[in-house]
Amino acid sequence: MSTAGLSRPDLDRLHRVLAAQVERRDLPGLVAVVSRSGDAQVETIGTLAFDDATPMALDTIFRIASLTKLATAVAALILVEGCRIRLDSSIDRWLPELADRRVLRSLASEPDDTVPAHRPITLRDLLTYRMGFGGIMAMPGTYPIQKLIRDLRIGGDGPMLATDYPPTDEWLRRLGSLPLLTQPGEAWHYQVSGDVLGALIARVAGRSLGAFMRERIFEPLGMKDTGFRVPAEKLRRMPAFYRFDREANALTHFEDPAHNAYAAEPPFESGGGGLAASLDDWFAFHRMLLGRGRLGRERILSPATVALMTSDQLPPEQRTANPIFFGRHSSWGLGFAVDIARTEIFHSPGRYGWTGGFGTTTYNDPANDLIGILFTQRMMDSPEPPAVFVDFWTAAYGAMG
């Protein structure tokens, strides 16, 4: 990665902003890259854990959480380009567990107070996160359906590790036992569409989601450290995973360091949040997207497909109904967020990407030929972006002349 196009003040500003987070012990370490027109600044700061002096590196493997959604969307659109499934195809053929849906009469209804779905769920519904089911942004116990979602371990109601899920077929059966929250296509709901999308890809492709991604995305792009499982010899390259404990007023381990959830094959490959990856790998993935589906000689998607997936797909009323996720600046494409207005210096219309609840953020900005990736391993405290994200993007765009 070359830094030829960046001035020394630019380089110093980004480094200083990120290093301050580690010096304050807000997190033990991080890795980041900002690439403009092919010239990249890479930062590896701090250590894998507060009690581990192993330095962060380009090949440190992070739990990237919801950044997985980008790769899952690409995998689905590979199948669309191959005419294995169409965007407006019903998913009933491949996922009969989710056929003949019932829908809650209202979110406050008891789970058996339902009406028939107006139509089946489609692939487009999954990619736009409008299948009719997902996370409920309310305190636990606010609505009757929330207890069932939690008890059945569906996801979308809080952070989950791979080991928290039941096996895929059982997960689909449990999801199919619940009514939808809204009619298909009528509202945007976070998370669960991505997990259903991963299960759909596996059924259509005839192999696991991880195997399909490996064959069609990861291996062609040289992404050797990305997957739903981390081999034993690579586990030492994973950092500790922290969350802020408000009662203790301190950072604590979210996951027992002695029982890494990525050490074994997961019972469920979460298309909404299950991948681990290194910065090197994820940079290759983003260079492919910024290259309109191509990296070097490898073509993953067509330019037309990349243009479609990175364009706004939501009607205004569905976007404004989710201010926690979209604010006034963002909307949703096919599988991830798309900026539509500038409310901060780094909200550039056409910029696309997402953030991961385990402390990761990644966006491409085609108008400025920019890629930005920041990997930490401190869980987000709320849907609002943490200070380190805001400072990273502010420094990245503030350096542009």
- Domain extent listing, the chain: 8-67+224-398, 72-209
Task: For domain 8-67+224-398, give the CATH superfamily.
Answer: DD-peptidase/beta-lactamase superfamily (3.40.710.10)
- Determine how many CB atoms are found less than 10 A away from the CB of residue 92: 15
- Structure tokens that stand for 384 in this block: 């609002």
Orientation of helix 387-398 relative to helix 8-23, angle to 10°: 170
- Structure tokens that stand for 142 in this block: 């606010």
> What is the tens place of the pLDDT at every residue in 81-131?
999 999 999 999 999 999 999 999 999 999 999 999 999 999 999 999 999
pTM of the predicted model, to two decimals? 0.95
pLDDT at 400: 64
Mean pLDDT of 170-177: 98
The conformation of residue 364, written as its DSSP 8-state character, comes to E
Task: Please give the C-alpha separations between residue 224 and each of 205, 231, 277, 278, in angstroms, as whole numbers.
Answer: 21, 11, 9, 9
- Please tell me whether residue 211 adopts helix, strand or coil conformation: helix
pLDDT at 218: 98
> What is the tens place of the pLDDT at every residue in 26-67?
999 999 999 999 899 999 999 999 999 999 999 999 999 999
Confidence band for 10, pLDDT divided at 50, 70 and 90: low
With residue 42 as reference, give the H or E element that holds it. Answer: strand 39-49
Judge whether residue 310 has pLDDT over 60.
yes
> What is the tens place of the pLDDT at every residue in 284-301?
999 999 999 999 999 999
Q: Tokens 């089911």 correspond to what residue?
A: 133
On the question of a common fold for 8-67+224-398 and 72-209, the answer reads yes
**Phi and psi at residue 114, to the nearest 5°:** -135, 170
d(CA 79, CA 164): 29
Fold designation for 72-209: Beta-lactamase (3.40.710)
Give percent of the chain above pLDDT 70: 97
With residue 332 as reference, give the H or E element that holds it. Answer: strand 330-332
SS3 track for 97-154: HHCCCEEECCCCCCCCCEEECCCCCEHHHHHCCCCCCCCCCCCCCCCHHHHHHHHCCC
